[in-house]
Amino acid sequence: IYFADDSTLLSKDLPSAVEQLGIVEEFCAVSGARLNQSKCQTLVLNGNLDPADTDGGGLLNIVPTGQPVKYLGLLFGHNLPADYQLNLLNERFMACFQQWGCRARTLQGRRLLANTVMLSLLWHVTMALPVPPAMVQRWQAMLSRYILGRKTVPTDRYRPLLPTTLHYDHKLGLGLPHVASRIRSQRLQLLQRAMTQSTADRPLWQPLVLRQFERSMGQLYRASNPYDFLLYHPHPSSKWLMLWEVHPLWIDVWSQWSATPINLRMQLPLTPATTMHLPVWLTTYEPTMANGMCAASVVHSSPTRRWCKHGAANRLRCLADVVAVHGRWPTRPEFMVMMSQGNPAAPVEINRDGHMHWATVHRSGMIYNHLTRMHTQVQGLHQLPPNIVPVPESTRHPFYGMVKDTPTPFELWPRPMVVALAYHAPASEVSHPMTSTTRTTTALIQSYVRRVRRTCRLPPPLHGDVWLRLLFRMLPVNCRFAYLQVERPDAICCTYGCGQVETQHHAFHACPRIHPVWSFHRDAWRPFGAPFTWSTISDLDLFTVNSRGDRHKDAVKTLWILLTASTLNLIWTQHNKVQYEDANPLPLPQWFELSFLGWMTSVRRWLRLQDHDCPIRTSALYVLHTLRGQANYRRLWEQHPNSLLLAPSAATN
């Protein structure tokens, strides 16, 4: 006896379902399989039928109304509320922050956790269900509060200290995931599958989806150009579109597509001949519009709209169609005849001599003048230079881009191009916190940010995280709380009570309790000339050494990075303890000892990660041996002789 895997049967009516179940029973009788009928469930997909009135004949377990059934990770049910699945998903997503939020203590760790654990809950459902923009905004706000501020409860408030533009920028900022861009990328990739022409890759549902869009376009649909709707947007109040014919998911696909910049959708220029074949009634493509309006925008009355729709059905859907009738642009009377021929919405009247003729249509003159301006505008377009590759003529749509120097239609674009098209995170111009007199262009700042990230990956993650936030000016030092001065006038003053305004410079370097720590290490590093000034800490490009240190510059810089990062972490940790836990400030000798021990911990970690034959490791050991003999470090090294012991010592009795 063996048990078959789960199967799904679709039946048009109840007798068919009973007949299918009988076939399964016959198969089980001769094959030795068993069908557990108590686990079988029958879902009524027709919302107009009442499951309580459906008689299963004792064989079918009819799922009652309102009870969900999970299939392929999604919930189905008879007359389930439209937002049922999304509400469950929203609750699960918000709850996972409290479950997983404590697992990461750094920006990079929380970003990794959000991408791999938290956001992975969303993508399977958002691929199949349209998500309201308000819910997407709630997800994004919770995600940003968690990554930037370690907030795990939706009601927690957080005041971001970094411009929003830099939250999502992968090259200039922190590279936070942008949920709306991810969802738009899903929609565009789904649209690619619907547009594919390859027989091997064509999904079975493609004809059904294209038929929905055909019905929504009505008489404006062209079989030779089935994707004319992509040049317009699904305006919910449009009287030209029958949007009730399109499933809400595909309405969302259409909306996401129309929200992308048209210059990114149409990356290759169009020749005037190709432009003549673009739709004119519903479009957002500027060359086929006049005064910023398409032809449909000129019509405001229902009779004229019906006349235009039936007239467009006379193969008058683009400028080339209008010209093709007479071989030239028609006069106004000729255009009226072309539009009214066989048009059931065309009005007629009897003139004085008793003959019947076409009556004047309201605003028909404006429509003709509008199309004439468009034709003149297109004819005035210059021919493209020979070195410019245009969109191929006689194509189904004008959405082309260059892929490996080859004009490629949108449905064949590689995934990175689709992701770039979908990306729409905030991108306003802001001053970058790492801008300097030598770094004024975007390219130079991007290069410096890459160096900063490499530097902050060298020390332990917690140490590198403090330095990274320091360079991005994200740390909540007291000067950021100026709005609290109404209640506490000293809200912006130093935590240690020196009376100065607490900026990052003051909190990490200039404070009388902190500056002696850097002076202590600076004196010990004099043989190599490594600086511990604030300008060097806040600008890594200013790091220099003397002639003796130049022979071991890579090793000196590595050890300097480890010491600076561990000291910054110690300063910030003690600052928060004094400010928020009412701890007593450390005496100066403890500052020296703790900063030394933290540095040695980082050095041991770094040495273990290097190969024994690594030249930088060998050079670093020489530098450490030299520093060991300096007066400021000699006592600490004698007090902690195992500071560089990489292996555990043997047990002694």
Residues β-bridged to residue 349: 357
Q: Give the DSSP letter of residue 240.
A: S
- Tens of pLDDT, residue by residue over 356-398, are 878 888 888 999 999 999 999 988 877 777 777 777 877 889 9
Is the pLDDT score of 8 beyond 90? no
- The number of CA neighbours under 13 Å toward the Cβ of 281 is 28
Which three-class secondary structure state does DSSP give residue 51?
helix
- For position 649, what pLDDT does the model report? 59
Is the pLDDT score of 496 beyond 80? yes
Nearest to 471 by CA among 489, 454, 452, 487: 452
Burial zone of 448 (CB within 10 Å; 0-12 exposed, 13-18 middle, 19+ buried): buried
DSSP per-residue letters across 114-125: IIIIITHHHHHH
What is the Cα 515 distance to its own chain's centre?
43
Residue pair 493/477 in contact (Cβ under 8 Å)? The answer is no
Which H/E stretch holds residue 403?
Answer: strand 400-403
| Phi, psi torsion values for 332, nearest 5 degrees | -65, -45
Mean pLDDT of all residues in 245-270? 95
Number of helices (H) and strands (E), helices first, in the chain? 26, 6
CA pair distance 577, 588, nearest whole angstrom: 16
Percent of the chain with pLDDT over 70: 97
CA pair distance 49, 425, nearest whole angstrom: 44
- For position 339, what pLDDT does the model report? 93
CA pair distance 644, 292, nearest whole angstrom: 72
Strand pairing report for 406-409 and 356-358: unpaired
- For position 171, what pLDDT does the model report? 94
- For position 283, what pLDDT does the model report? 94
CA pair distance 63, 44, nearest whole angstrom: 7
Percent of the chain with pLDDT over 90: 73
- For position 92, what pLDDT does the model report? 95
Which three-class secondary structure state does DSSP give residue 588?
helix
Radius of gyration of the chain (CA): 35
Residue pair 279/220 in contact (Cβ under 8 Å)? The answer is yes
Q: Give 539's pLDDT tier (boundaries 50, 70, 90).
A: very high
Which H/E stretch holds residue 110?
Answer: helix 107-113
- For position 57, what pLDDT does the model report? 65
- For position 2, what pLDDT does the model report? 42
146-180 b/e (C-beta count within 10 Å ≥ 16 → b): bbbbbbbeeeeeeeebbbebbbbbeebbbbbbbbb
- Tens of pLDDT, residue by residue over 501-519, are 999 999 999 999 999 999 9
CA pair distance 258, 265, nearest whole angstrom: 9
Residue that the structure tokens 């049967």 belong to: 9
3-state secondary structure 72-100: CCEEECCCCCCCHHHHHHHHHHHHHHHHH
3-state secondary structure 299-350: CCCHHHHHHHHHHHCCCCCEHHHHHHHHCCCCCHHHHHHHHHCCCCCCCEEE
pLDDT: which is higher, 270 or 178: 178
DSSP per-residue letters across 420-482: HHH----------TT--SS--SHHHHHHHHHHHHHHHTSS-HHHHHHHHHHHTT-S--GGGGG
Q: Give 191's pLDDT tier (boundaries 50, 70, 90).
A: very high
For the chain, how far is it from start to end, CA to CA, in angstroms?
A: 65
- Taking the CA atoms of 605, 610, 615 and 618 in sequence, report the sign of the dihedral they define: positive
**Average model confidence (pLDDT) across the chain:** 91
- For position 1, what pLDDT does the model report? 37
CA pair distance 73, 290, nearest whole angstrom: 48
CA pair distance 220, 229, nearest whole angstrom: 9
- Tens of pLDDT, residue by residue over 410-439, are 999 999 999 999 999 998 888 999 999 999
Name the pTM for this structure: 0.90
- For position 354, what pLDDT does the model report? 77
Mean pLDDT of all residues in 639-643? 91
Q: Give 58's pLDDT tier (boundaries 50, 70, 90).
A: low
Residue pair 260/254 in contact (Cβ under 8 Å)? The answer is no
- Tens of pLDDT, residue by residue over 582-615, are 999 999 999 999 999 999 999 999 999 999 999 9
Q: Give 46's pLDDT tier (boundaries 50, 70, 90).
A: confident
Q: Give 652's pLDDT tier (boundaries 50, 70, 90).
A: very low
C-alpha dist (Å) from residue 574 to 479, 537, 582, 587, 602: 18, 19, 11, 12, 18
Residue pair 127/186 in contact (Cβ under 8 Å)? The answer is yes
Q: Give 268's pLDDT tier (boundaries 50, 70, 90).
A: very high
CA pair distance 122, 118, nearest whole angstrom: 8
C-alpha dist (Å) from residue 466 to 457, 458, 463, 575: 12, 13, 6, 13
Residue that the structure tokens 């410019």 belong to: 388
Residue pair 339/311 in contact (Cβ under 8 Å)? The answer is yes
Residue pair 314/322 in contact (Cβ under 8 Å)? The answer is no
Is the pLDDT score of 653 beyond 60? no
Mean pLDDT of all residues in 186-198? 93
What is the Cα 570 distance to its own chain's centre?
35
Is the pLDDT score of 4 beyond 60? no
